[in-house]
Chain A
Amino acid sequence: MSQPEQPPVADDSGRQAPVVELAGIEQIYGKGEMRVHALRGIDLTVASGEQVAIMGPSGSGKSTMMNLIGCLDVPTSGRYRLDGLEVGDLGEAELARVRNRRIGFVFQSFNLIARMSALANVELPLVYGGIARRERRERALAALESVGLAERGGHQPHQLSGGQQQRVAVARALVTEPALLLADEPTGNLDAESTEDVLRLFEHLGELGRTIVLITHEAEVGARADRLVTLADGVIVEDRPRTRGDDSADLDDTVEFPQYAPVRQGEGR
């Protein structure tokens, strides 16, 4: 909403609630001597249709933040709104439903379930979403096709290359048509060629207007994203939009955060 060059998705009012709104998020692991302050006050807003790359040194809290956004973990303090929904208010069952319906998560280590065909893996979120068998199969096949692996549906994970496994994982993340696609170093375990395949896939999804948050170590990947958020030691130290061919450098990264406050306190949705 603060980035006019973004093609808004399903925009009828001209404004849409952000997909992700993090405010004052802190995450503290352990107690006493073991205490780790992994996140120290994160404020971040991701608008619908935005593609955000997250970078930062190892241990800076990228995965910690990603797990919070993906509702896999809950923060020690701070507020999180996902697609207009106050996540802190949700119970365990509702969180499971949010993970199922609104979030697609791609992991560094693929995380496909062994001894289950690619198609069955892609179907799994729909199984937990209570979708009927026939529709499930159709949607899973379509998702596999969209990552270019339609003919590999019957293969088990160990019969696929790393790049193919990760594409299956992307299909699985997309199959529920989630509001948000998260990827934590999706190319971290891949060779150069597969990395290129997977990144092209994410780029393509971005072009289709998907909201994507992606952690990467590769500066080149970061450079290609709409927006690059840099973490260090549990805080956001830089938040800048991509320097495109056109002149958008006037967009100050700090602009976004003040606008967050009224949304949080106010009408909501």
Chain B
Amino acid sequence: MNPSDVLASSLRGVTANPLRSILTMLGVLIGVAAVIVLTAVGNGSAQSVNDAISTLGSSTLTVRSSSGGMGPGQSGQDASSDLTTETAAGLSDMELGHVDLIVPEVSTTATVTADSLSSDDVSVIGTSADYFEVGDVDLSSGSAFDASAEEQSQKVVVIGSTLASDLFSSGSAVGQTIGIDGTSYTVSGVMSQQDSSGQDDPNSSIIAPISRVQASLTGLGSVDSLTVLASDSDSVIAAEGELEIGLNQLLGIDDEDDETYSIVNQSELLETQQETAQTFTVLLAAVAGISLLVGGIGVTNIMLVTVTERTREIGIRKALGAARPAILMQFLVEAALLTLAGGILGVLLAIVVTRFEISGTQPVIVAASIPIALGISVAIGIFFGVYPAWRAASMRPIEALRSS
């Protein structure tokens, strides 16, 4: 009996009772779809973290103030413990060996007006000209501001693409004037469309020289964070050490425990986030695995029913000379076809489901998960079909024929 004959007779078995076959497939279908969707969600969130990190670059560090600077327990310290533009300048002057650039940032929100249009709660970031280099930000038109604009606190801004089209729907934004909380600024450039994976959409924000933003909006002195670009991704750890020494010196901190800032290493952040995502995925995949197990038991159940119902057919086949392996194969392949069909439908379902965002993540199907899921489907059919098929194969021809 060659494989195509086995396939043909098994196929006949599966299609003989379509409703029952579909119901039997359901367990495997749901299990397979769940496994693929869950791994896709895990993969998608890992990718979005990756993307977020890679826009900053894996060689960046972020320094943030970790206290308000004037907490009750730190009454002995003065306001200089806070991060300021002077801190940034001081660090730059130290010419730390593994640090290329130090970019201070302040951020706030403001009401933005242009002609008769106005927009509330627009995110305004004050930073230095190096921001565009560190963040790898491209402009679609116009130009960024330069260091001299920053020194002179010029009223120039670079705006996000969404904001640009909102405010200046007809024509270019470059060269136009916008008002930020009543002060007029000139738009020098518009940023290209960027991925918006974070909570602040960069496409709707405004970038301005830090000195200007401090003077007009946030107040002079303190900054929210320093983004530090290490000389390359291998130097991140060394740069972190140098920064710590430099900052402690500048801020007059002697003891590690008194540090009023924290340094966040982007790749460390990435790793922890990925680990969390992975644990989550493994847990949920285990749940999906249980549904596959239940589906498999359903296959055993239905195949036992099928074998009982078709006892007479088995008797006829044996009377015509079917040997044990031929009958075994017929029912094994039938079980495997059932679960494979369930698996294929599960994959299709997963492909449909993963087109939608799931709890804020756009799932990305792991390519290998599809063949693996189909392979597992077939394996489930074979594993859970062995016992019924063995029962069929071991029937004695005369007894099988006698059953009505």
Binding site for B on A (CB under 8 A): 67, 70, 72-73, 92-93, 96-97, 99-101, 105, 107, 111-116, 124-125, 127-130, 172, 176
Contacts and interface: CB of A to CB of B under 8 A. Distances in A.
Contact of A70 (B1, B317, B319, B322): B319
B318 A130 contact: no
A115 B321 contact: no
A93 B317 contact: no
B320 A124 contact: yes
Nearest to B326: A128
Given A113-B313, A128-B326, A100 B398 contact: no
Contacts of B313: 113-114
A124 B317 contact: yes
B1 A92 contact: no
A94 B1 CA distance: 15
A67 B317 CA distance: 15
Given A96-B324, A99-B320, A101-B321, A72 B398 contact: yes
Contacts of A72: 318-319, 397-398, 401
B323 A92 contact: yes
A124 B322 CA distance: 9
A115 B1 contact: no
Nearest to A96: B323
Interface in B355-404: 396-398, 401
B16 interface: yes
A195 B230 CA distance: 98
A116 B12 contact: yes
B234 interface: no
B275 interface: no
A128 B324 contact: no
Given A113-B313, A115-B12, A73 B318 contact: no
A73 B312 CA distance: 15
A113 B312 CA distance: 9
A26 to B, nearest CB: 16
A113 B396 CA distance: 18
A125 B323 contact: no
B401 A111 contact: yes
A73 B398 contact: yes
Closest A-B pairs by Cβ, 10 of them: A100-B321, A96-B323, A73-B398, A128-B321, A72-B398, A125-B320, A99-B321, A72-B397, A111-B316, A128-B322
A93 B324 contact: yes
A114 B1 CA distance: 20
Contact of A92 (B5, B324, B398): B324
Nearest to A132: B2
A209 B313 CA distance: 31
A51 to B, nearest CB: 21
A125 B16 CA distance: 22
A96 B12 contact: no
Given A96-B323, A113-B313, A67 B398 contact: yes
B1 A127 contact: yes
Nearest to B400: A72
19 contacts: A70-B319, A73-B397, A73-B398, A92-B323, A96-B318, A97-B321, A99-B319, A100-B320, A100-B321, A101-B321, A105-B319, A111-B312, A111-B319, A112-B316, A125-B320, A127-B1, A128-B321, A129-B321, A130-B2
Nearest to A176: B321
A72 B319 CA distance: 7
A112 B317 CA distance: 10
Contacts of A113: 313, 316-317
A125 B321 contact: yes
B398 A172 contact: no
Given A92-B323, A111-B316, 8 more contacts: A72-B318, A72-B397, A73-B398, A93-B324, A100-B322, A111-B312, A124-B317, A127-B1
B319 to A, nearest CB: 6
Nearest to B323: A96
A130 B1 contact: yes
Interface string B235-248: 00000000000000
Contact of B1 (A97, A112, A128): A128
Interface string B1-36: 110010000001000100000000000000000000
A124 B401 CA distance: 16
B320 A115 contact: no
A67 B315 CA distance: 12
Interface string B309-347: 000110011111111101000000000000000000000
B321 A172 contact: no
B402 to A, nearest CB: 10
Contacts of B397: 72-73, 99
A116 B5 CA distance: 13
A112 B313 CA distance: 8
A77 B174 CA distance: 106
B16 A115 contact: yes
Contacts of A99: 318-321, 397
A172 B323 contact: no
Contacts of A100: 320-322
A22 to B, nearest CB: 17
Contacts of A105: 319-320
A128 B329 CA distance: 12
B395 to A, nearest CB: 11
A112 B397 CA distance: 15
Contacts of A114: 313
B323 A93 contact: yes
Contacts of B2: 130
A193 B322 CA distance: 33
Contacts of A70: 319
A28 B50 CA distance: 78
A107 B400 CA distance: 14
Contacts of B319: 70, 72, 99, 105, 111
A129 B317 CA distance: 12
Contact of A128 (B16, B317, B401): B317
Interface in B293-316: 312-313, 316
